[in-house]
Structure 1
Amino acid sequence: MHEKLTSKIRVLCVDDDPNVTWILSDGLNAEEFIVETCNDGRAAVNKLSGFKPDVCLLDIKMPGMDGIQLLNYIKRQDPGISVIMISGHADTPIVVQAVQGGADDFIVKPFDVEMVEICIQKVIEKKDLKQRVQRLESELARQSLWENFIGESPAFLRVRELIEQISTTDLNVLIRGESGTGKDIVARMIHQLSDRARGPFVKVNCAALPPELLESELFGHERGAFTGAYRSKPGRFELANKGTIFLDEIGEMAAPVQATLLQVLEHKEFFRVGGTQSVKVDVRLITATNIDIEKHIQEKKFRLDLFYRINDLTVHMPALRERGDDMILLAHHFLEKYGGKFGKGTIDLGQEAERALLQYHWPGNVRELESLIKRAVIFGGGEILKHIERHKDDRAGASESTDGDPFNPEELPTSYFENKTLKEISEGILSQIERRAIKMCLDRQGWNRKKTARDLGISYRCLLYKIQQYDLQKDTVTADSE
């Protein structure tokens, strides 16, 4: 039976005719209903401050605040309250207006009290069914979220448990871990499992923009704030209102922007660049970094007070090499994913390939593994082990030899050319050449990304995109890597 029917249903009756409210108050079964009455809309508004009804019965035509106005007020205050409208006439326009305002049912005077009881119970049962469906949909959504969050190692299961716990809070979260460990995925999981899931999820890469542009990107700007600001623009914090903002690579944020961010976190408001009117926001902050942020604090590159603000809760992402057989589970998952996507069917990994995966240290973590499997599916012709060994040789520095060249057209299997247009074939090969060219230039410049972008004739932001797209990793960390 409906859960509300096991306890008394709370009903608020509002009608300017005292006889109607008396009939309802006296006639509704006292064993099933708790009834409160009012004879005008304003009195009902006051009553609602201390009485939380399950159902409201509202007369449409009342002096002062009429039933439609009261309906709109109730739905703004609490959409979960069911509302049944009462009228002396089945006037179609009024009925339509009431339904559009959120009314659940309509009763025409004169009415039988028993009919009102049946109507109330139907409305309550309908609401209960809707809530059960929503709970089921929510549970199914949670299950589907975990489907691509793959792993069984103790380190991984600890992260999963922590995500479940964190998602029930609204505290700021710092996600730490090496590049490619899945910090972005964890941020999205926390958002989707939280009460803010219906709100926006907005991601900003703090390393993708120079400081002068990052502040405008985060907090927006007014027209004329700087050269090229031809119109006002809301910032990412405004766009994330009622949701979550994810600041990736927070450790790369310049000092002036750090100071502004600290003020936003303290006061929940900010000024657009060039603006004079404060903007209030309600956002949850999730940040991520792959650097030693404590070292940055010691070197005065990152504010200690900001670190405390962003670090209410911390998630440490384990490196892939610390996750044992998880890499085998992930490899099978990526084989299935890209085998289907590129029409390669079922591809067997094989025991030798599994051993090769386990013997490699995976500096690029899950992102590197996914990129390798993707290229192996496209170019490997099913020879996964051969492609893994080539990849390991390439990372070890053997890629300068012709035998280790993964994009040598002469070595591409016949299957690569099947069921592809000339454009698709060309783009696939050119992407391998582009990947090699960017990697060589980065190595030549000691992974100074600004110099590399200049040498390649592309923007700094474009280079960052390419580095992520091709899963490029620096072999050694240099002090001058920006």
Structure 2
Amino acid sequence: MVRERILIVDDEPDLLRLLKRSLEEDLQCIIETALSGEEALNILSQKSMDVVLIDMKMPGMSGLELLQFILEDHPWMTIVMMTAHGCIELAVEAIKSGAYDFITKPFDTETISFTLQKALERSRLLRENLRLQKDIRTCTSFQDIVGTSPKMKRIYELIQTVATTDITVLITGESGTGKDLVARAIHSLSKRKDFPFVAVNCPTVPEHILESELFGYKKGAFTHATQNKIGLFQEAHKGTIFLDEIGDISANIQTKLLRVLQEKTIKPLGDTKTISVDVRVIASTNRNLQEAIKQGKFREDLYYRLNVIPIELPPLRERKEDIPLLVNHFLKKHGQELNRPNKRLSPELMEIFLENDWEGNVRELENIVIRGILFAPEEEIRPEHIGLKPYKNPNISPELNLIPNLPYKKAKEYILKKFHKLYLGKLLKETGGNVTQAARNCGLERQALQQIMKRYNITAKPFRKK
């Protein structure tokens, strides 16, 4: 873990030594010192700081001048001013100029430590906000794929890597995880982006029609074939064809697709000649194709032709840290479409969202957000606006009032998650993230406690001292 840095600027060497010694221990951070404004600017040009503490009265460059110089180059910097008791007017002027806070001399160690702790927290929040803004901008380049979790960042890296090639990609994942968005992102970042992207939802097209749709047909090939028809593979020439839910196609279509992948040619129904096609193939499925192969329902040779580059999308329950970002994205997107902007979720509804397992994944979350936008009469979307009617029991927290609305198994799991997060959170906080000591304190074996923590996605890292 990178330790945070504080720069203290004061013309009194003894005070600097005292503050450095006491604050490094209290705040567990690195303290840099400077005896003048010029020295402080030199340090800031070489090192990044989280907080700067500046004395108002210094010979040469004043604290107020230094504040203004710093904010010109570092507008997000968190700056705290030190001033003598009789110079409150100057401190107020500093606040108006962009300082975060001020303290008056003389001060005790506890007061300055508390003030700087708040300043560090503010710096962390600003840093996280800037990071999220950057990540959101990155997400938009992936056409509505939103998320900053490690699993999604890995997906973005894969998309960017495979997009520069023509290699066949197989996207797997549960329904509602966004397989179609990944396919479109690969196409939009590829050299084929100016040519067609043709999506085929395989399960929705009957087998006897799917073949003619994919490969086309010649006039007279069958009854009602009164003219030639170009197939979807030809429509996608020089572009990309996306075969959505390919695990549902018949054995006959599987055989013909295999030939297309091997030979890069198609044969329209009723034609004796083959036609060359230049098409990048991306397929997706929510099925376990390896299991389907064992059952004789999917060709093994076709599977290996498709599965050159696999991309497996995580279900939403495995990246719950992305839920607030997704909610904000859907609120903005659909709020504008439905002419009901500026909607937000109530804290208790967000809590429910974070606890839910989302069996329908991102699509289910999006649909519920749309429902909330439509039915919330005011700006705040509450549980009752999406069909959850809480009991008004003042003795339990608002989100637990919603438990009777849930099926038994979900309600039980919800309560267990709440219990373990509260109980183990307190336990780990008391032991500074020491799992062995936490297990000893609660009467469990260390391995048993680790299994519980893994099940409920609880880690010791946030509770360890920096």
Separation of aligned partners in 2, 1:195 and 1:362: 36
Say yes or no: does 1:284 pair with 2:280.
yes
Match of 2:420 in 1: none
Separation of aligned partners in 1, 2:243 and 2:221: 24
1:222·1:274 contact (CA, 8 Å) conserved in 2? Answer: yes
Match of 1:344 in 2: 340
Match of 2:267 in 1: 271
Distance 1:397 1:210, change over 3 A: farther
Shift of 1:395: 9.7
Cα deviation digits, residues 236-257 of structure 1 (max 9, x gap): 0000010100000100010000
| SS of the residue 1:374 aligns to | helix
Separation of aligned partners in 2, 1:294 and 1:163: 23
| SS of the residue 2:388 aligns to | helix
Match of 2:184 in 1: 188
**Match of 1:336, as an amino acid?**
K
2:209 pairs with 205, 210, 213, which one?
213
Q: Which runs of 4+ in 1 moved over 6 A?
A: 391-395
Distance 1:218 1:395, change over 3 A: farther
**Match of 1:344, as an amino acid?**
R
1:315 pairs with 287, 295, 311, which one?
311
Match of 2:384 in 1: 386
2:195·2:238 contact (CA, 8 Å) conserved in 1? Answer: yes
Separation of aligned partners in 2, 1:268 and 1:153: 38
1:325 pairs with 321, 324, 327, which one?
321
Separation of aligned partners in 2, 1:233 and 1:394: 57
| SS of the residue 2:241 aligns to | strand
Residue identity over aligned pairs, in percent, reads 45
Match of 1:366 in 2: 362
| SS of the residue 2:281 aligns to | strand
Separation of aligned partners in 2, 1:286 and 1:336: 30
1:246·1:286 contact (CA, 8 Å) conserved in 2? Answer: yes
| SS of the residue 1:373 aligns to | helix
When structure 1 is superposed on structure 2, of 342-351 and 211-220 the one drifting more is: 342-351
2:375·2:386 contact (CA, 8 Å) conserved in 1? Answer: no
| SS of the residue 2:371 aligns to | helix
Shift of 1:384: 3.5
> How many residues matched?
258
1:239 pairs with 214, 235, 242, which one?
235
Separation of aligned partners in 2, 1:143 and 1:152: 8
**Match of 1:272, as an amino acid?**
P
1:191·1:201 contact (CA, 8 Å) conserved in 2? Answer: yes
How large is the RMSD of aligned CA atoms in angstroms? Answer: 2.2
2:331·2:341 contact (CA, 8 Å) conserved in 1? Answer: no
Distance 1:284 1:395, change over 3 A: farther
Separation of aligned partners in 1, 2:168 and 2:334: 35
Cα deviation digits, residues 199-233 of structure 1 (max 9, x gap): 11000011011211110010001112122212110
Distance 1:294 1:143, change over 3 A: closer
Separation of aligned partners in 2, 1:260 and 1:205: 17
Match of 2:331 in 1: 335
**Match of 1:384, as an amino acid?**
R
**Match of 1:253, as an amino acid?**
I
Distance 1:183 1:368, change over 3 A: same
Shift of 1:332: 1.1
Shift of 1:270: 1.7
Separation of aligned partners in 2, 1:349 and 1:304: 47
| SS of the residue 1:291 aligns to | coil
Separation of aligned partners in 1, 2:218 and 2:365: 44
Q: Where does structure 2 lack aligned partners over 5 or more consecutive residues?
A: 1-136, 390-401, 409-466
Cα deviation digits, residues 425-464 of structure 1 (max 9, x gap): xxxxxxxxxxxxxxxxxxxxxxxxxxxxxxxxxxxxxxxx
Distance 1:223 1:353, change over 3 A: same
Say yes or no: does 1:167 pair with 2:163.
yes
Separation of aligned partners in 1, 2:385 and 2:317: 19
2:200·2:242 contact (CA, 8 Å) conserved in 1? Answer: yes
Separation of aligned partners in 1, 2:403 and 2:288: 29
1:362·1:368 contact (CA, 8 Å) conserved in 2? Answer: yes
Q: Where does structure 1 lack aligned partners over 5 or more consecutive residues?
A: 1-140, 399-482
| SS of the residue 1:188 aligns to | helix
| SS of the residue 2:293 aligns to | helix
Separation of aligned partners in 2, 1:190 and 1:285: 11
Separation of aligned partners in 2, 1:146 and 1:356: 28
**Match of 2:202, as an amino acid?**
C
**Match of 1:386, as an amino acid?**
E
| SS of the residue 1:245 aligns to | strand
**Match of 1:385, as an amino acid?**
P
Distance 1:228 1:259, change over 3 A: same
Distance 1:270 1:354, change over 3 A: same
Say yes or no: does 1:262 pair with 2:258.
yes
Cα deviation digits, residues 3-48 of structure 1 (max 9, x gap): xxxxxxxxxxxxxxxxxxxxxxxxxxxxxxxxxxxxxxxxxxxxxx
2:296 pairs with 285, 297, 300, which one?
300
Separation of aligned partners in 1, 2:138 and 2:323: 23
Shift of 1:387: 3.4
Separation of aligned partners in 1, 2:352 and 2:248: 35
1:353·1:385 contact (CA, 8 Å) conserved in 2? Answer: yes
Shift of 1:147: 6.1
Shift of 1:323: 0.7
**Match of 1:165, as an amino acid?**
T
Matches within 5 A, 1:72-87: none
Distance 1:282 1:372, change over 3 A: same
Separation of aligned partners in 2, 1:393 and 1:199: 51
| SS of the residue 1:314 aligns to | strand
Separation of aligned partners in 1, 2:247 and 2:338: 37
Match of 1:353 in 2: 349
Separation of aligned partners in 1, 2:152 and 2:140: 18
Separation of aligned partners in 2, 1:266 and 1:351: 54
